[in-house]
């Protein structure tokens, strides 16, 4: 298949592209490079473009004879989405609609969509299964949930088939050390901890130490980005084989607290990483742990890098060797 990967120059997208390069499929990355890095795209064709540009999208579908889409292009900062909802609804929904419309116009029926655990909001049932109520606490979460609902309507009306992957905490880096996480600004825990270990940050704050968890800090389900990437390939191939539209969680089913992440990172880098207790960050749920039984059962997904130490070691390899990112 000729597979269009939107957002293929981003952190997760570039890992999806790398895994696709090892398959029989052809990859066409479509990215506006606002957040992504051209150097992160290790092969295939590249189109620099925005989803707002419907004309360029249409030309790209025709020029490359696109058969299927993996759609990751989006804004994805929870905090920012509360300050700038217009940006999130415009980019994640309205511009995403252009993509769906160009798919329908070109008779392309299959899409794998990058969704998020943020669609659930605060849940009191752990592990989280796909059928639990969805009450997102952020605009970001809502923009992703609305897009899932739009795809459902496009399926019913236009027979567009989708697989939506609700990621938990994507982390780690490709084993080769060639690509990894490079956000500006960086807000995620593991890269921040490793930047502190490298002396690139003065302080590392733990956002809240009074949560109802085993050590008072937030618990998250960290999943290796290569395991995530593999799920996209399983998804797009399943759709090509006639699978019905489906939604899957993607996590390891294990939760680690912020303190445990810092301790494990200290072991990986071989020295203590100092942290101070800070205030809670708005919008953080205490515990998010996925049940990924559904995708294991239906698509045969098998995580290869489930262990937190392995996840952090791959991230460390990347940060140590690319202290300035790409
Ligand atoms: N944290 C700190 N100190 C820091 C940074 C983070 O204590 O300097 C804490 C956070 O408060 C949170 C945990 O570390 O408890 C993980 O934070 P991240 O920012 O790494 O990840 P989140 O769980 O907040 O968010 C991630 C993705 C979102 C997605 C969400 C879904 O970044 O896009 O998972 O659960 F929506």
Give residue 22's pLDDT: 97
pLDDT level of residue 78 (50, 70, 90 thresholds): confident
CATH of the domain at 297: 3.90.25.10
How many Cα atoms within 13 Å fall on the side-chain side of residue 40? 29
pLDDT level of residue 282 (50, 70, 90 thresholds): confident
Q: Tell me the pLDDT tens digit for each residue of 183-238.
A: 999 999 999 999 999 999 999 999 999 999 999 999 999 999 999 999 999 999 99
Phi, psi of 272, rounded to the nearest 5 degrees: -70, 135
| 34-60 mean pLDDT | 98
Q: Is 162 a catalytic residue?
A: no
For residues 83 and 126, the answer to whether their CB atoms sit within 8 Å is: no
Is there a single domain that holds both residue 281 and residue 246? no
**Structural domain includes residue 178:** no
**Structural domain includes residue 80:** yes
Is the pLDDT score of 86 beyond 80?
yes
Ligand 1 atom closest to the CA of 167, numbered from 1: 31
pLDDT level of residue 283 (50, 70, 90 thresholds): confident
| 43-58 mean pLDDT | 98
Measured CA to CA, the distance from residue 70 to residue 235 in angstroms comes to 9
Domain that includes residue 304, residue range: 189-220+253-321
CATH of the domain at 129: 3.40.50.720
Is the pLDDT score of 145 beyond 80?
yes
| 151-155 mean pLDDT | 98
- Considering 11, 88, 120, 140, which one is annotated as catalytic? 140
Is the pLDDT score of 87 beyond 80?
yes
Of 10, 64, 56, the closest CA to residue 33 belongs to 10
Give residue 285's pLDDT: 85
pTM (2 decimals)? 0.97
Give residue 148's pLDDT: 98
Number of domains the chain contains: 2
Is there a single domain that holds both residue 94 and residue 107? yes
Give residue 121's pLDDT: 87
Measured CA to CA, the distance from residue 260 to residue 221 in angstroms comes to 12
Task: Provide CB contacts within 8 A for 199, sequence distance 6+.
Answer: none
Is there a single domain that holds both residue 162 and residue 209? no
CA of 190 to the centre of ligand 1 (A): 9
**Structural domain includes residue 184:** no
- The overall average pLDDT reported for the chain is 97
Give residue 294's pLDDT: 98
Is there a single domain that holds both residue 233 and residue 290? no
Is there a single domain that holds both residue 203 and residue 232? no
Is there a single domain that holds both residue 214 and residue 228? no
CA of 188 to the centre of ligand 1 (A): 5
Give residue 79's pLDDT: 85
**Structural domain includes residue 25:** yes
Is there a single domain that holds both residue 280 and residue 241? no
Give the closest residue (by CA) to ligand 1 atom 34.
Answer: 169
Ligand 1 atom closest to the CA of 280, numbered from 1: 11
**Structural domain includes residue 129:** yes
**Structural domain includes residue 119:** yes
**Structural domain includes residue 42:** yes
**Structural domain includes residue 177:** no
Please give all residues whose beta carbon lies within 6 A of any atom in ligand 1, as ranges: 76, 78, 116-118, 168-169, 187-189, 192, 205-207, 218, 220, 258, 281, 284, 288
pLDDT level of residue 88 (50, 70, 90 thresholds): very high
Is there a single domain that holds both residue 239 and residue 271? no
Sign of the CA dihedral with 54 first, then 57, 62, and 68 last = negative
Give residue 123's pLDDT: 87
Ligand 1 atom closest to the CA of 281, numbered from 1: 11
| 313-320 mean pLDDT | 98
Is there a single domain that holds both residue 310 and residue 280? yes
User: Exposure string (b/e) for 249-279, b if CB count within 10 Å is 16 or more?
Assistant: bbbbbbbbbbbbbbbbbbebbeeebebeeee
CA of 23 to the centre of ligand 1 (A): 32
Is there a single domain that holds both residue 7 and residue 43? yes
Q: Tell me the pLDDT tens digit for each residue of 237-280.
A: 999 999 999 999 999 999 999 999 999 999 999 999 999 999 99
Is there a single domain that holds both residue 266 and residue 234? no
pLDDT level of residue 124 (50, 70, 90 thresholds): confident
Is the pLDDT score of 63 beyond 80?
yes
Is the pLDDT score of 38 beyond 90?
yes
Rounded (10°) CA dihedral 316, 317, 319, 321: 150
Give residue 131's pLDDT: 96
């Amino acid at each position: 298949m000729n597979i269009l990967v939107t957002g293929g120059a981003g952190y997760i997208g570039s890992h999806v592209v790398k895994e696709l390069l090892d398959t029989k499929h052809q990859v066409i990355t479509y990215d506006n490079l606002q957040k992504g890095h051209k150097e992160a795209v290790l092969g295939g064709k590249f189109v620099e473009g925005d989803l707002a540009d419907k004309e360029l999208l249409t030309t790209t579908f025709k020029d490359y004879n696109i058969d299927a889409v993996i759609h990751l292009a989006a804004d994805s900062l929870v905090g920012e989405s509360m300050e700038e909802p217009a940006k999130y609804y415009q980019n994640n929904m309205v511009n995403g609609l252009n993509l769906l419309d160009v798919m329908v116009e070109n008779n392309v029926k299959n899409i794998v969509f990058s969704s998020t655990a943020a669609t659930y909001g605060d849940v009191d049932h752990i592990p989280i299964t796909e059928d639990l109520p969805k009450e997102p606490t952020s605009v970001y979460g809502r923009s992703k949930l609305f897009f899932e609902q739009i795809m459902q309507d496009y399926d019913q009306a236009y027979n567009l088939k989708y697989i939506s992957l609700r990621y938990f905490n994507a982390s780690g880096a490709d084993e080769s050390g060639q690509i990894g996480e490079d956000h500006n600004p960086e807000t995620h825990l593991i890269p921040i901890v490793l930047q502190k270990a490298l002396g690139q940050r003065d302080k590392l704050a733990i956002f809240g130490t009074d949560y109802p968890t085993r050590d008072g800090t937030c618990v998250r389900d960290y999943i290796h980005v290569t395991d995530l990437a593999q799920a996209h390939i399983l998804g797009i191939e399943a759709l090509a084989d006639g699978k019905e539209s489906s939604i899957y969680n993607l996590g390891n089913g294990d939760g680690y607290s912020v303190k445990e992440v810092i301790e494990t990172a200290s072991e990986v880098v071989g020295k203590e990483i100092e942290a101070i207790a800070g205030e809670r960050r708005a919008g953080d749920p205490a515990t998010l742990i996925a049940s990924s039984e559904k995708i294991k059962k239906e698509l045969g997904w098998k995580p290869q890098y489930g262990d937190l130490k392995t996840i952090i070691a791959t991230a460390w390899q990347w940060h140590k060797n690319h202290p300035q990112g790409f």
